[in-house]
Amino acid sequence: MTDPSRHELRHHGDADLAPGLIDLAVNVRAGTPPPWLRTVLHEALDASAGYPDAGPARAAVAAAHSRDPAEVLLTAGAAETFVLLARALRPRRSVLVHPSFTEPELALRSAGHPVSRLLLRAEDGYRLDPMAVPEDADLVVLGNPTNPTSVLHPAADLVALARPGRVLVVDEAFADTVPGEPESLAGRRDVPGLLVVRSLTKTWGLAGIRVGYALGSADLVAALAAHQPHWPVSTPALAALTACTTPAARAEAEAAARELTGRRAALLEALPGWVVVEGRPRSSFVLLLVPDGARVRQTLRHRGWAVRRGDTFPGLTADHLRVAVRDPATSRGFAAALAEVMTTHRIPEEIR
């Protein structure tokens, strides 16, 4: 198991990409944003001479989750929320549940806050035991479903982590990849200290627009908002928020999530039987364990396939590869390449 350096914690799937490679490294839905959303963005660009008005988008997000607008924090991507938490809170003991997205840890460390890690284990299927979180943690951060394990924790296990005096951050950047969002806490107003973090990046293909939001008590939202600059979310991002929270858009996201379920099954079925699939995948990517993973990844890359390295995630190793779910033909092509690389291929000298 590795203990990634700070530099490695900054590594994300986009760094595993290069022009010409088939992208299984970044978990943004292929073929996005859809044409109607491009139109929304273009129109918003045309209306961008003035400063943005966040009111309508905030109201739209609040309505979509049956919340009060005061409980909605609009952000320049989910990633901004982690920086705001680090600025606004003074945690004595923050616990980060890993392996997981590393930006929360980086944001807390950069602000000088003490950070401890709770490493979930492969032998437990990377499932969370709520009892394993230290009682004195006043800030707990975890993802659901979790990047990179693709594991979906039961909502009840997350709710069991809430305590008076504790902020519980659930990163739901991938929640809309799960049909019906059965374990989402986005609509829960009864869980003390809960902050749910959401993103438009993955399902709508808006990584470059930087758009997301967080849902929590009005007090917590106000405390975080106090650390934002004026006009933190651009006019195109606000237009996307309003457009992606309509009933029609949410139905489209739900259909995409259902299609993804079939595509994930096709990928798992195509993989060689001796490849270990970690945990029980429920999101738009799967975590694989392959012997000699670093060389396998390099050789796949040489053959035109980009996968996400695993060793920059606390708790994983170079033998872990995260692979995005794509259409069945692409998944079958990848599975065949993986099988060949692992059985017959000798790694060329020049890429060793």
The residues binding ligand PLP (CB under 6 A) are 12, 77-79, 101, 143, 147, 171, 173, 199, 201, 207, 212
CB of 168 to ligand PLP, least distance (A): 16
CB nearer to ligand PLP: pick between 240 and 341: 240
User: What pairs with residue 168 in β-bridges?
Assistant: 140, 194
Specify whether the backbone of 279 is left (phi greater than 0), alpha (psi in -120 to 50) or beta: left
- Listed in sequence order, the residues at least 6 apart from 297 whose beta carbon sits closer than 8 Å to its beta carbon are 307, 309, 321
Can you give the C-alpha Rg of the chain in angstroms? 20
CB nearer to ligand PLP: pick between 33 and 212: 212
Tracing tokens 């259902």 back to the chain, one arrives at 258
CB nearer to ligand PLP: pick between 207 and 294: 207
CB nearer to ligand PLP: pick between 235 and 299: 235
- If residue 73 lies in a helix (H) or strand (E), which one and from where to where? strand 72-75
In the complex, which residue's CB is closest to ligand PLP?
Answer: 77
Pairing of strands 320-324, 285-289: antiparallel
Peptide bond into 148 cis (omega under 30): yes
CB of 135 to ligand PLP, least distance (A): 26
What is the token pair recorded at 58?
């905030």
CB of 176 to ligand PLP, least distance (A): 12
SS3 280: coil
CB nearer to ligand PLP: pick between 238 and 335: 238
CB of 233 to ligand PLP, least distance (A): 11
